[in-house]
Chain A
Amino acid sequence: MKKLISAPYLLWMAVFIIIPLIMVAYFAFTTTDGAFTLDNLAAVSQYSNIFIRSIWLAAIATVICLIISYPLALILARIDKSYQSTVLMIVMLPMWMNFLLRTYAWMTLLGNNGLINAFFGLFGLGPFKMLNTQGAVVLGMVYNYLPFMILPLYNVLAKLDKSVIEAAQDLGCNNTKTLIKVIVPLSMPGIMSGITMVFVPAISTFIISRMLGGGSNLLIGDLIEMQFLGNSYNPNLGAAISLVLMVIILLIMTILNQFDEDDDRVLM
């Protein structure tokens, strides 16, 4: 019975996840004629600075998301239930709008003649160069993926047992200590899934860097896109870059997960 119920998903997984993954691997290790080669993977190394930039910018965006989201989620979990849904809705509100449109809007906000610089202009400041910088790319990432960080954090914190916190306070913990020793470790699963949900799309994004980075801050996503829709049609190299990207993400996630388990042990 159990097997029957899971059949649709298993089928889905096989057709749309497993087989495409195998095909990515196959393309990565073959030439256009289908012969085995390692050249594609070797060719990826010449783009190492793009990889580094992507990891770096995605990491910054993730950290900023975490710093913004954690206090918000904490407050959100504590306030009156009737406000909670309203605030959550406001958090989700931008996501009802199309992703491209949201990013496009930032272009007009950040530009030299944009709203923000016009505002600074009133005080005789600027104009500051904000668009077409790495900072703008990070901003785009933070803006677009922030809800993905807030929601898992809020979920975990809202379900946190109040008696645990009370117990900590009873045993003489001040507020800071309660936060560091009890709340943060208990919310570790939420932090982990938040980091995953922000970092992974941020590292592989491509349109944000093109629109806000002015096309000269290439990220891995752009690089992969260029292999398929660029001057030379090269799906093999594209597959190899994707494969390397997946391995890097896997590696980073494994390292992060070590913290997770570690803290579980502390609690036990």
Chain B
Amino acid sequence: MKKFLLALTALSVALMCGCSHIEEYEEDIETTEDEVEIQTVNVSNKDYYSRFKGQDISINVYNWGEYIPDGSEEGILNVNEEFTKLTGIKVNYSTYATNEELYAKLKGGASTYDIIIPSDYMISRMIKENMLEPIDMSEIPNFSNIMEKFRDPEYDPGSKYSVPYTWGTVGIIYDKTVVDEEDIGWDILWDEDYAGSILMFDNPRDAFAIAENLLGYSLNTEDSEELRKAAEKLKEQKKVIQAYVMDEIFDKMGAGEAIIAPYYAGDAVMLMDEFEDLDFVIPESGTNLFIDAVCIPKGCRNKEAAEMYINFLCEPDVAYAVADYIGYSTPNQATFEMLDDEVKEDGISYPDDDFIEEKTTVFCNLSDEANLEMQTLWTEMKSSEEQTPNRVIVPAFMAICVIASLVILIRRYIKKKKDIF
């Protein structure tokens, strides 16, 4: 029993350590909280929103996790609730973690959504596969708020199917107390000086984009040879990588577990708010610019209500609340003008137009073959090992199984003979 008590004490000590961390963390949030004023929504045209009042309509919204202000903290707008208050339309809200999950869900056809928010390349794939409903832009007067440069994007020529929601770039988050270098470029992710302290994207598209950038290829390349070279580059990188992660970056960078990691600008802003040692840089050589845009999938039940929701998201006040809460950049000109100069000019969330024009690439959908090849190369890269001790294991394992079976059979046979006599 004594040992159990000992174990229990150890456990509670560990828990207490954990708790104190959480408390500190909450305090951090509260202090930043005080500066935020309570947000309100002023909409441009109240009549527009009152069409469906009292008709008991509801729409299903399917969005990324943590991707809309939900009123969870004081002073933060609850977008869905505000929308219901304004229009009388109920919002059923659910979330997904990746574009691919969204795609699989829609492809499975088990559920109907009225609003989805996929990223650029997924939108072009869905357009190609006829999964999206064209949006009637005359129903969305606030589309005029969208910045010129985000209209008529490559993934959706003529903006027929999508209205940009947020955007951002991919850059490198690093601990400035350890990394003391100028001109940080993508090659720092290959730097052996930081071996074991570098994190990397755990999804092939983003990871390949970095390698392609270094090799000077297009981020949308479908060339088999180029993809193979990029995979080799990534394989080279494997020995310095601590782990392949996505959102675990928040924990690992926050706890000082890792020093360098590529990630999305919006998340970097959030991390830097919390941890002063962290800094963010967008490599000069260029990067990927991603756009998440609101779409209406085929099979939606109430298109007009969905369009009303999209229009609501384009209200400057709402878009401001979104940008403020999730930290991603806004494509909404009216909202952009409401931002603090500090945010506008720090070069993280809003790099200057020349850079965007010349050095960033938006992902397009790749062909099925290229996607498949990338996936195969990625799996191969991740499962390859430098030390290959496992070669012996399979035959050994099989041999043991066979020998064991034989031994049993022989023993049984002998016993049977004994039983007979």
A residues whose Cβ falls under 8 Å from a Cβ of B: 46-50, 52-53, 55-56, 59, 83, 87, 90, 107-109, 111-115, 129, 131-132, 210-211, 214-216, 218, 223, 226, 228-234, 251-252, 255, 258-259, 262, 265
Question: B242 an interface residue at 8 Å Cβ cutoff?
Answer: yes
Say yes or no: B98 contacts A234, CB within 8 Å: no
Q: What 9 A-B pairs come out closest when comparing CB atoms?
A: A215-B244, A214-B243, A232-B371, A231-B375, A232-B375, A218-B383, A229-B100, A232-B372, A231-B204
Q: Which of A56, A111, A226, A230 has the most CB of B within 10 A?
A: A230
The chain B residue sitting closest to A52, CB to CB, is: B394
Which of these, A49, A109, A228, A262, contacts B383 with CB under 8 Å?
A49
Known contacts A52-B393, A233-B104, A262 near B205 by CB under 8 Å: no
What does DSSP make chain A's interface, helix, strand, loop or mixed? helix
Say yes or no: A52 contacts B390, CB within 8 Å: yes
Say yes or no: B372 contacts A234, CB within 8 Å: yes
Residues of B close to A214: CB separation below 8 A: 241-245
Say yes or no: B241 contacts A216, CB within 8 Å: yes
Question: B14 an interface residue at 8 Å Cβ cutoff?
Answer: yes
Residues of B close to A265: CB separation below 8 A: 412, 415
Which of these, B100, B248, B257, B408, contacts A233 with CB under 8 Å?
B100
Say yes or no: B255 contacts A218, CB within 8 Å: no
Say yes or no: B379 contacts A223, CB within 8 Å: yes
Question: B202 an interface residue at 8 Å Cβ cutoff?
Answer: yes
- Near A by CB (< 8 A), chain B positions 368-387 give 368, 371-372, 374-376, 378-380, 382-383, 385
Residues of A close to B242: CB separation below 8 A: 132, 214
Say yes or no: B379 contacts A226, CB within 8 Å: yes
Say yes or no: B100 contacts A230, CB within 8 Å: yes
Say yes or no: A259 contacts B394, CB within 8 Å: no
Known contacts A115-B17, A215-B244, A216-B241, A108 near B372 by CB under 8 Å: no
Say yes or no: A218 contacts B379, CB within 8 Å: yes
Question: B144 an interface residue at 8 Å Cβ cutoff?
Answer: no
Say yes or no: B382 contacts A48, CB within 8 Å: no
Residues of A close to B371: CB separation below 8 A: 231-232
Question: B401 an interface residue at 8 Å Cβ cutoff?
Answer: yes
Say yes or no: A262 contacts B372, CB within 8 Å: no
Interface size on B, as a range, is: 35 or more
Binary flags per residue of B307-344, CB closer than 8 Å to A gives 1, else 0:
00000000000000000000000000000000000000
The chain A residue sitting closest to B202, CB to CB, is: A215
Q: How far is the CB of B63 from chain A (nearest CB, A)?
A: 17
- Near A by CB (< 8 A), chain B positions 350-380 give 368, 371-372, 374-376, 378-380
A41, B164: Cα distance in complex, Å:
42
What does DSSP make chain B's interface, helix, strand, loop or mixed? helix
Which of these, A55, A233, A251, A258, contacts B107 with CB under 8 Å?
A233
Residues of A close to B411: CB separation below 8 A: 262
Q: How far is the CB of A228 from chain B (nearest CB, A)?
A: 6
Residues of A close to B1: CB separation below 8 A: 83
Residues of B close to A132: CB separation below 8 A: 242-243
A228, B238: Cα distance in complex, Å:
24
A265, B405: Cα distance in complex, Å:
16
A-B contacts, 13 of them at CB < 8 A, read: A49-B383, A52-B397, A114-B257, A115-B17, A131-B243, A214-B244, A214-B245, A216-B244, A228-B100, A234-B375, A255-B401, A255-B405, A265-B415
A228, B408: Cα distance in complex, Å:
41
Say yes or no: B412 contacts A56, CB within 8 Å: no
Question: B143 an interface residue at 8 Å Cβ cutoff?
Answer: no
Q: A108-B255, A233-B100, A233-B104 are in contact. List 13 more A-B contacts (CB 8 A).
A: A53-B383, A90-B4, A107-B248, A109-B14, A111-B252, A113-B256, A211-B248, A215-B202, A215-B243, A228-B100, A232-B374, A233-B103, A234-B372
A228, B104: Cα distance in complex, Å:
7
Q: How far is the CB of A115 from chain B (nearest CB, A)?
A: 6
Residues of A close to B385: CB separation below 8 A: 49
A234, B100: Cα distance in complex, Å:
11
Binary flags per residue of B62-105, CB closer than 8 Å to A gives 1, else 0:
00000000000000000000000000000000000010110110
The chain B residue sitting closest to A266, CB to CB, is: B415
A87, B245: Cα distance in complex, Å:
37
A251, B397: Cα distance in complex, Å:
13
Say yes or no: B375 contacts A226, CB within 8 Å: yes
Which of these, A129, A251, A259, contacts B408 with CB under 8 Å?
A259
A262, B380: Cα distance in complex, Å:
42
Q: How far is the CB of A198 from chain B (nearest CB, A)?
A: 18
Residues of B close to A251: CB separation below 8 A: 401
Residues of B close to A259: CB separation below 8 A: 404, 408
The chain A residue sitting closest to B378, CB to CB, is: A231
Known contacts A229-B101, A231-B371, A49 near B390 by CB under 8 Å: yes
A216, B383: Cα distance in complex, Å:
6
Say yes or no: A255 contacts B104, CB within 8 Å: no
The chain B residue sitting closest to A50, CB to CB, is: B383
Question: B40 an interface residue at 8 Å Cβ cutoff?
Answer: no
Which of these, A52, A115, A230, contacts B204 with CB under 8 Å?
A230
Say yes or no: B255 contacts A113, CB within 8 Å: yes
Residues of A close to B203: CB separation below 8 A: 231
The chain A residue sitting closest to B1, CB to CB, is: A83
Which of these, B98, B107, B243, B390, contacts A216 with CB under 8 Å?
B243
